[in-house]
Amino acid sequence: MAGCNHDCEHCGSKGGCNEIQKAKLNDRSKIKKVIAVLSGKGGVGKSYVTSMIAVNLNRRGYSVGILDGDITGPSIPKAFGLKGNAYADNGLILPKVSKTGIKIMSSNCLLENEGDPIVWRGTLLGNLVKQFYEEVLWEELDYLVIDMPPGTGDVALTVFQLIPVDDLVIVTSPQDLVSLIVTKAIKMANMMNIHVTGVVENMSYLECPDCGKQIPIFGESHLEEFSKEIGFEILGRLPLVSANASLVDSGKVEQIDVKEFVSIVDKIVGGK
């Protein structure tokens, strides 16, 4: 609205206008940069990429947090071997902390039984993501990495509208459908004025343990030509390694060392 000073609390319309109230950090937290990780579809390893970006940033000495925005399909706590509920401190939620000091908040940290489903509509899911940003005691973070739900639905819209996302990393796989999926994700980001740092192609190949040959088990990638066509940076291509999948499943993602993430994080930090 014309003349709006964004002070909704003292506004006479009391939220009756179309002004979107941005999420506001609590006064005990400070976040320098927010990175969102998005995939156009499920099953491409988005949470794995989120976890490894956070792990590699942490290895460089940055203070890092992960906001698990995939409310109905949370997997971050399991990847880090975290169990038990989060607690409150003077009205704020205390995040769980991983073995190497990464702060983590997820819907699974609120459930009495981590196997219980969350059956909510989109608006409630988006509100919980906003609450995680505003009401968690993040303290001082260099980077907050948000693990987005797959697709371009309500929760993604809420995050992009309400939370000050600095950079977006898109995760995909080497399949023919990639062009359509990545296009949708990039178009959504452009509509919301979110900077797309680039695309990570996961499960790009399987490396032969004997000869080292890269085997494209999901077909040849066309990401290079597609990146030139619509204009985005390829941050990296990740191999499919069964041992790493086992480490994630056993809560030991912080033990994984994938050399490709060094250059991926170089490009993310380079955009700081």
- Count Cβ neighbours within 10 Å for each residue of 235-257 and write b for 16 or more, e otherwise: bbbbbbeeebeebbeebebbebe
State pLDDT tens for residues 132-190. 999 999 999 999 999 998 887 888 888 899 999 999 999 998 875 667 788 888 988 99
pLDDT at 177: 64
pLDDT at 2: 38
pLDDT at 20: 60
Which token pair is 229?
A: 């066509």
Q: Count of alpha carbons within 13 Å of 10, Cβ hemisphere only? A: 4
Tokens 């205390």 -> residue: 94
Asked if 253 and 98 touch (Cβ cutoff 8 Å), the reply is no
State pLDDT tens for residues 172-181. 988 756 677 8
The structure's pTM equals 0.88
Tokens 């940290």 -> residue: 109
| Residue 29 neighbours by CB distance under 10 Å | 18
Determine the Cα angle at 62 with ends 56 and 67, to 5°: 75
